[in-house]
């Protein structure tokens, strides 16, 4: 089952951001949002759900922006056209 979650990233500039990371059925990363995630929701409860997930991801070590993946990683940053228009 494919899924996604939020991950804390250490940017090359030294700052930090939260990005969406997408996985395949083998729990391998298939793509990462090109831009930092923004908390949004159609209801206050949905917004709170995303904010909690973003806070929870900060309990894990940060991934580093840039060459943080193995040389043989098989994913690219592509534009997905949907109501949220996400890059991954």
Q: What gap in Å lies between CA 32 and CA 54, rounded to an integer? A: 15
| Domain range for 49 | 3-65+73-87
Tally of domains within the chain: 1
- Residue with the larger pLDDT of the pair 5 and 71: 5
**Phi then psi dihedrals of residue 29, to 5 deg:** -70, 130
Task: Specify the pTM.
Answer: 0.71
Q: What gap in Å lies between CA 88 and CA 32, rounded to an integer? A: 5
When pLDDT is cut at 50, 70 and 90, the band that residue 78 belongs to is very low
Give residue 72's pLDDT.
Answer: 53
Which among 61, 75, 78, 50 is positioned nearest to 10, based on CA atoms?
61
Give residues with Cβ within 8 angstroms of 64, minimum separation 6: 9, 10, 12
At 11-20, the pLDDT tens digits run 888 899 999 9
pLDDT at residue 45 greater than cutoff 90: yes
């Amino acid at each position: 089952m494919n899924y996604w979650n939020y991950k804390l990233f250490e940017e090359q500039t030294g700052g930090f951001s939260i990005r969406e990371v997408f996985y395949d059925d083998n729990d391998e990363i298939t793509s990462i949002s090109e831009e930092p995630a923004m908390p949004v929701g159609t209801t206050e409860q949905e917004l709170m759900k995303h904010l909690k997930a973003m806070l929870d991801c900060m309990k894990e070590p940060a991934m580093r922006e840039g060459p943080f993946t193995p040389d043989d990683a098989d994913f690219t940053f592509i534009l997905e056209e949907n109501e949220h228009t996400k890059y991954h």
